[in-house]
A = this chain, B = another copy of it.
Amino acid sequence: MSSAKSTNRLIYLPLGGAGEIGMNAYVYGYGEPDKERLIVVDLGVTFPDMDTSPGVDLIMPDVAWLEARKDRIEAILITHAHEDHVGGVGHLWERLGAPVYAREFTAHIARLKMADVGLPDGTVHTVAAWPHMSTFGPFKVGFIPVSHSIPESAGLVIDTPAGRVIHSGDFKIDHTPVVGDPFDQALWAEAAKDGVRALMCDSTNVFSPAPGRSEATLAEPIEELLKNATGMVVATTFASNIARLKTIATAAEKAGRSVCLLGRAMRRMVEAGLETGVLDGFPKTILAEDAVDVPRQNLLLLVTGSQGERRAASAQLANGKYMGLTLKEGDTFLFSSKTIPGNERGVIRIMNQLSEKGVDVIDDRGGLYHVSGHANRPDLEKMHDIVKPKMLVPMHGEHRHLREHAKLGEAKGIGSIVAVNGMMIDLTSNYPHVAEYVETGRTYLDGSVQIGALDGIVRDRIRMALNGLVVVTLIMDENDEPLGEPWCEIQGLPETGRNNAALVEVLEGELNQFLMRADDKILTDDDKLEKELSQVARRVAQSEIGKKPEVMVVISRLS
């Protein structure tokens, strides 16, 4: 099957998702160095925040390295339909151009992503599950079903001339996942039985010491809660957790409650589940306009916004009204979710708004109403034991997760390496080692433009937010003399400082003083003049308001 010469190598290169949780993008290559044929696994996004990326719409891996090797990409494979795995496929596809493959439900969502940016359906191909395998250049790949918090998640069985490697994808070991494939240990053992060169493995929950719990354990407590609630019940979870939606909706039906889905993502996911056949037996839902007429104690709203997102249904309900529906004293709001670190403030804001309305908030404090979609530490060890890989490369984790997971592997005698974004790992020999360091980073979708995280654009926004802005306008006449005085405008700065003097007036006065003393060498040189005026403005502001603002100087020369 293989004409592999000794110079050929098998490489693994994370471009996103290794050293962070989010925007997954992994590359496998086989061939002579710098001539490897490539497959890309997942093209995900991560979400912006005010601290690091104000105003940005989405964050994606920088695929410049791949783009420069576009002709070597055989395929883009998507393991499952979570945003951090499929969210970037539409935005990045034109830069990479290769065909996209996924199992049916995931392909359905990928096609929606393509449609969102005006790309045709034909870019995405549906593949059957392992043991079916597809050939992509030197690779043969099978999508092996695995349980996770979204239906039809898959690991990848990747045959290469250097042997078989397995990419776990995001997974948990769940034998009763309610919707989607149960974890099938025999199937995984079968895939591993002839030896596995390397396992690339999810690391998210390596610090969780207890075995993970099954999705099915939630049905009883949620039924109990819905039966005992007296008013309206609102439940929120990730829209893509279709099993959870089914558990909650079924519990509502049993408690004599009509189910209403609120939020675009929620409806889109349930429709995708029904259309692709992964979801059946979902209770009949009603529309928001009909829900308003249902007695509160007979209603369940399933809403988006479990992470406190400002525009989602949950935030709007907490804020007042959504689609004609309002919450009031005696209603119950269930967070069937975990708050992702960094989202705490938004979630707490909603909890307090609900408290103000007299709504009882139930979160996952006790672990009754939510289970994780990722394998905990003992489950990771179980996976190692099933796959018995020669090498382990932890992925899908921050540095601390990868390091801990690699330690776990080493302790078992599996050759393990901490590989973060940009570390190209050679898997050809008996121990994983770094072959090259590749430049990686983040690409921001900002409005309709893709910008680099380090382009300075977002840095300038952060500086304006921290420091405020002074704009100095100056007109220079034909003789390179100031025409009148400089003019200042401020944005994001207090109008008065020390001694209640108007900041703008003090600035203009001092800038004018400076100009009156300035010599021709400065007055005739825009760069010098700009620099000097900025310095004066900053110094004056520091003295007046205790702050050094950003300064923009606009010089107009009449000539």
A interface residues (Cβ-Cβ under 8 A, vs B)? 19, 49-51, 54-55, 207, 341-342, 344-345, 348, 351-352, 354-356, 358, 361, 365, 398-400, 403, 446-449, 451, 455, 457-458, 460-462, 464-469, 471, 473, 475, 483-484, 487, 489, 491-494, 496-498, 542, 545-547, 550, 552, 554, 556, 558
Question: Given A399-B352, A448-B545, A464-B464, A489 and B458 touching (CB < 8 A)?
Answer: no
Which of B365, B447, B494 has a CB less than 8 Å from the CB of A451?
Answer: B494
Question: Given A475-B556, A492-B458, A494-B446, A465 and B50 touching (CB < 8 A)?
Answer: yes
Question: Given A341-B345, A487-B556, A554-B489, A545 and B399 touching (CB < 8 A)?
Answer: no
Q: Which residues of B sit under 8 angstroms from A457, Cβ to Cβ?
A: 468, 492-494
Report A319 CB to chain B, min CB distance, Å: 14
Query: Can you name the residue of chain B whose Cβ is closest to the Cβ of A208?
Result: B365
Question: Given A471-B471, A487-B556, A51 and B345 touching (CB < 8 A)?
Answer: yes
State in angstroms the CA–CA spacing of A460 and B344 once bound together: 25
Which of B351, B365, B449, B473 has a CB less than 8 Å from the CB of A497?
Answer: B449
Report A531 CB to chain B, min CB distance, Å: 16
Residue pairs across A and B with Cβ atoms less than 8 A apart, 12 shown, are A55-B465, A55-B492, A351-B398, A449-B547, A457-B468, A460-B468, A461-B468, A462-B465, A465-B465, A471-B471, A487-B554, A491-B552
Q: Is the CB of B554 within 8 A of A554?
A: yes
State in angstroms the CA–CA spacing of A250 and B131 once bound together: 61
Question: Given A54-B50, A400-B361, A546 and B449 touching (CB < 8 A)?
Answer: yes
Which of B50, B449, B493 has a CB less than 8 Å from the CB of A545?
Answer: B449
Q: Which residues of B sit under 8 angstroms from A487, Cβ to Cβ?
A: 554, 556
Which of B49, B55, B492, B554 has a CB less than 8 Å from the CB of A461?
Answer: B492
Question: Given A483-B558, A497-B448, A399 and B355 touching (CB < 8 A)?
Answer: yes
Q: Is the CB of A351 within 8 A of B400?
A: yes
Q: Is the CB of A546 within 8 A of B50?
A: no
Q: Is the CB of B399 within 8 A of A471?
A: no
Query: Can you name the residue of chain B whose Cβ is closest to the Cβ of A400?
Result: B355
Which of B51, B344, B451, B471 has a CB less than 8 Å from the CB of A552?
Answer: B471
Q: Which residues of B sit under 8 angstroms from A455, Cβ to Cβ?
A: 494
Q: Which residues of B sit under 8 angstroms from A550, Cβ to Cβ?
A: 491
Q: Is the CB of B464 within 8 A of A491?
A: yes
Known pairs A54-B462, A457-B492, A461-B491; list 5 more (Cβ under 8 Å): A207-B365, A446-B545, A447-B545, A461-B464, A487-B556
Which of B207, B458, B460, B466 has a CB less than 8 Å from the CB of A54?
Answer: B466
State in angstroms the CA–CA spacing of A230 and B24 once bound together: 36
Q: Is the CB of B469 within 8 A of A469?
A: yes
Q: Which residues of B sit under 8 angstroms from A354, Cβ to Cβ?
A: 400
Query: Can you name the residue of chain B whose Cβ is closest to the Cβ of A456?
Result: B492
Q: Is the CB of B352 within 8 A of A400?
A: yes
Report A532 CB to chain B, min CB distance, Å: 18
Q: Which residues of B sit under 8 angstroms from A546, Cβ to Cβ?
A: 446-449
Q: Is the CB of A356 within 8 A of B460?
A: no
Q: Is the CB of B451 within 8 A of A554?
A: no
Question: Given A50-B54, A464-B469, A489-B552, A355 and B403 touching (CB < 8 A)?
Answer: yes
Query: Can you name the residue of chain B whose Cβ is closest to the Cβ of A343?
Result: B344
State in angstroms the CA–CA spacing of A365 and B457 once bound together: 38
Q: Which residues of B sit under 8 angstroms from A547, Cβ to Cβ?
A: 55, 446-449
Report A306 CB to chain B, min CB distance, Å: 16
Q: Which residues of B sit under 8 angstroms from A460, Cβ to Cβ?
A: 468, 491-492
Report A470 CB to chain B, min CB distance, Å: 11
Q: Which residues of B sit under 8 angstroms from A449, Cβ to Cβ?
A: 494, 496-497, 545-547
Q: Which 4 A-B pairs have the closest CB atoms?
A: A448-B546, A447-B546, A447-B547, A465-B465
Q: Is the CB of A342 within 8 A of B341?
A: no
Q: Is the CB of B465 within 8 A of A54?
A: yes
Q: Which residues of B sit under 8 angstroms from A545, Cβ to Cβ?
A: 446-449
State in angstroms the CA–CA spacing of A355 and B487 once bound together: 51
State in angstroms the CA–CA spacing of A546 and B471 once bound together: 25
Query: Can you name the residue of chain B whose Cβ is closest to the Cβ of A347?
Result: B341
State in angstroms the CA–CA spacing of A527 and B500 once bound together: 27
State in angstroms the CA–CA spacing of A135 and B447 once bound together: 63
The residue among A484, A494, A498 with the most chain B CB atoms within 10 A of its own CB is A494
State in angstroms the CA–CA spacing of A520 and B469 once bound together: 32
State in angstroms the CA–CA spacing of A554 and B550 once bound together: 17
Q: Which residues of B sit under 8 angstroms from A356, Cβ to Cβ?
A: 399
Query: Can you name the residue of chain B whose Cβ is closest to the Cβ of A467?
Result: B55
State in angstroms the CA–CA spacing of A348 and B403 once bound together: 14
State in angstroms the CA–CA spacing of A471 and B403 once bound together: 48
Query: Can you name the residue of chain B whose Cβ is closest to the Cβ of A353?
Result: B399
Report A530 CB to chain B, min CB distance, Å: 11
Question: Given A342-B345, A468-B461, A352 and B398 touching (CB < 8 A)?
Answer: yes
